[in-house]
Amino acid sequence: TVNDKKEVRVWIDGCYDMVHFGHANALRQAKALGDKLIVGIHNDAEITKHKGPPVFTQEERYKMVKGIKWVDEVVEDAPYVTTLETLDEYQCDYCVHGDDITTTVDGYDTYHLVKTAKRYREIQRTQGVSTTDLVGRMLLMTRNHFQQGESEYSVGKDDNWLDNKSAMPFGAIQAKPSKLGQDHAARSPWTGCSQFLPTTQKINQFSNGKPAEPGDKIVYVAGAFDLFHIGHLDFLEKAKEQGDFLIVGLHTDHVVNQYKGGNYPIMNLHERVLSVLACKYVNEVVIGAPYEVTKDLIEHFSVDVVCHGRTIISEQHGDPYEIPKKMGLFKIIDSGNDMTTEKIVQRIIINRLDF
Ligand code: CTP
Ligand code: C5P
């Protein structure tokens, strides 16, 4: 009978450094292969041994993955080579991984044991996003190395730059045809590097599809949410505690560039939508929210409270919260976390200098 049917527990493991929507999409697909999703995450020492130091600490990486809505359990200090003992210890039926080969420092397929035991399933890797690609975008933006329309640039090979032991010194970006380069044909000068092809199907797969219930207290927040990080996660957790249904407004690339300058945002609007939708505290996303929180928007979504974190609000273009403040709906909340997108870019540069 249906009741006797055993719950299928799916194991997936990895580094989950600089968690992006490619990771989230892997977790989504893995969850769909069973009932419960258990994610094993390697500690810093294990990653350093096999591919070089991660950008984010293990505590940060564990927390980010716990914030993704398809994840049921996180197992810390998971071994780099997935063993049958590990699957058994957590009562997992099989292990899932993307359709790319990962190897140990000695060149072994990290999944050879589970493959031999036929306890392995494969999912499709998300094209157009990877830690390598994001690092490439950041290095491009910090080096001002764009030569649009001439050659394109890449950092190392197609693999993760962290495992490229013969890494070039910082800034020595190779000129070669690459998927990291600035696409001179792209419309947006800021996020033209993105090679990800957003579709309505992907948005559909990531969204909850559940509208607010009558009587729900609606919370609205807005921002860039570029390179979705633990500061954002902590902020959204606190924002969600202010009510029952959390709506996140994402500013367009153009608006973000106007107040952040440089080559921000690093992730384009479509990519930011997916990262935010993957977060377990988020119920709905406004794709291209106005910079100013308008009366129309507040009424349209029946917003009860508008929140912002403790980061500085640039008033260069006027106070975006003037209306909710006047309506008595505005609240500053403390995420207790001082991570910013800019700090991540700094970490990448420092890490890069380590080689
Ligand atoms: N993954 C994916 N699509 C991507 C990136 C990663 O499906 N664009 C999957 C991997 O195949 C793996 C899981 O996410 O099953 C965790 O991967 P992890 O060990 O963290 O990552 P990498 O493959 O090294 O990812 P990246 O190249 O982004 O560092
Ligand atoms: O900077 P960005 O627009 O991405 O921030 C989105 C929201 O997250 C803002 O309300 C900001 O104050 C908040 N935040 C936070 N703590 C951080 C980073 C961002 O509360 N460390």
Q: Would the ipTM clear 0.90, i.e. be above it? A: yes
Domain boundaries, the chain: 2-123, 131-195, 200-338
Q: Is 221 in the pocket of ligand 2 (CB under 6 A)?
A: yes
Q: 194: pLDDT confidence band, cut at 50, 70 and 90?
A: confident
The DSSP-derived string for 279-323 is BTT--EEEET--SS--HHHHHHTT-SEEEE-SSPPP-TT--TTHH
Q: Tell me whether the omega of the peptide bond preceding residue 265 falls within 30 degrees of 0, making it cis.
A: yes
DSSP class per residue in 47-103: HHHHH---SS-HHHHHHHHHTBTT--EEETT--SS--HHHHHHTT-SEEEEESS--B
Q: Where is 212: in which H helix or E strand?
A: none
- Looking at residue 350, its pLDDT comes to 80
For residue 136, the ligand closest to its alpha carbon is 1
The pLDDT value given to residue 167: 30
337 lines ligand 2 (CB under 6 A): yes
224 lines ligand 2 (CB under 6 A): yes
Q: Evaluate whether 81 touches 135 at the Cβ level (below 8 Å).
A: no
H or E element at residue 184: none
- From residue 54, alpha-carbon distances to 67, 160, 162, 296, 348 in Å are 19, 11, 7, 44, 10
Q: What kind of fold does domain 200-338 have according to CATH?
A: Rossmann fold (3.40.50)
Output the residue whose Cα is nearest ligand 2's atom 11: 309
| pLDDT given at position 137 | 85
pLDDT tens figures, 318-350: 899 999 999 999 999 999 999 999 999 888 888
Same fold, 2-123 and 200-338: yes
Amino acid identity, position 104: T
Q: Hey, which of 229, 235, 307, 332 would you mutate to test ligand 2's pocket, going by the most ligand atoms within 8 Å of its Cβ?
A: 235
Q: Taking a C-beta distance cutoff of 8 angstroms, is the pair 20, 309 a contact?
A: no
Kindly provide the b/e burial profile for residues 277-301, where b requires at least 16 CB atoms within 10 angstroms of the residue's own CB: bbbebbbbbbeebebbbeeebbeeb
Residue 18 tokens read as 């600089």
Bigger pLDDT: 118 or 141?
Answer: 118
- Position in ligand 2 atom list of the atom nearest CA 231: 21
How confident is the model over 117-134, as pLDDT tens digits? Answer: 999 999 999 998 988 888
Task: Please choose, from the candidates 293, 290, 272, 276, the residue with its C-alpha nearest in 3D space to the C-alpha of residue 188.
Answer: 272
Q: Which residue's C-alpha comes closest to atom 25 of ligand 1?
A: 130
Residue 192 CA to ligand 1 centre (angstroms)? 22
DSSP 317-347: T--TTHHHHHTT-EEE---S----HHHHHHH
Cβ of 339 closer than 6 Å to ligand 2, yes or no, is yes
267 CA → ligand 2 middle, Å = 16
* Choice between 53 and 93, residue whose per-residue pLDDT is larger: 93
pTM of the model: 0.86
Strand, helix or coil for residue 191: coil
Tell whether the model's pLDDT for residue 163 goes beyond 70: no
Average of per-residue pLDDT values in the chain: 85
> How distant, in Å, are the alpha carbons of 147, 163, 232 from that of 153?
9, 19, 30
> Quick one: tokens of 184?
């001179």
Model confidence at 44: pLDDT above 70: yes
Q: What is the model's pLDDT at position 254?
A: 94
Q: How confident is the model at residue 1 (pLDDT cuts 50, 70, 90)?
A: low
pLDDT by residue (tens digit) across 171-192?
333 333 333 333 333 334 456 6
Say which residues have a Cβ less than 8 Å from residue 19's Cβ, sequence separation at least 6.
61, 64, 65, 68, 228
Instruction: Please give the pLDDT value at position 86.
Output: 98
Fold that domain 2-123 belongs to in CATH: Rossmann fold (3.40.50)
What size, in residues, is the chain?
355
Written as one letter, the residue type at 184 is H
Q: Which ligand is nearest to the CA of 256?
A: 2
Query: Does residue 52 or residue 43 have the better pLDDT?
Result: 43
Q: What is the pLDDT of residues 284-322, one digit of tens each?
A: 999 999 999 999 999 999 999 999 999 998 777 889 999
- Which of 120, 130, 132, 160 to mutate to test ligand 1, by most ligand atoms within 8 A of the CB atom? 130
Pocket of ligand 1, beta carbon within 6 A? 12, 14-16, 22-23, 25-26, 97-98, 100, 125-126, 129-132, 160
Beta carbon of 233 within 6 Å of any ligand 2 atom: no
User: Which residues, at least 6 apart from 251, have a Cβ–Cβ distance to it below 8 Å?
Assistant: 222, 223, 224, 288, 289, 291
Name which of 211, 275, 272 is nearest 247 in CA terms: 211
Pocket test for ligand 2, best of 232, 238, 273 (most atoms within 8 A of CB): 232
154 CA to centre of ligand 1 in angstroms: 19
Residue 152: predicted pLDDT: 32
pLDDT band per the 50, 70, 90 thresholds, residue 142: low
Cα→Cα distances 71→11, 31, 54, 182, 260, Å: 10, 8, 21, 34, 33
* Residue tagged 């106005």 (tokens): 290
Buried b (16+ CB within 10 A) or exposed e, 219-242: bbbbbbbbbbbbbbbbbbbbbbeb
Whether the pLDDT of residue 208 is over 80: the answer is yes
The interaxial angle of helices 269-277 and 21-31, nearest 10 deg, is 40
Measured distance CA(279)–CA(232) in Å, rounded: 10
Q: Residue 277 is inside which H or E element, if any?
A: helix 269-277
In whole angstroms, what is the distance from residue 74 CA to residue 70 CA?
Answer: 11
pLDDT confidence of residue 139: 78
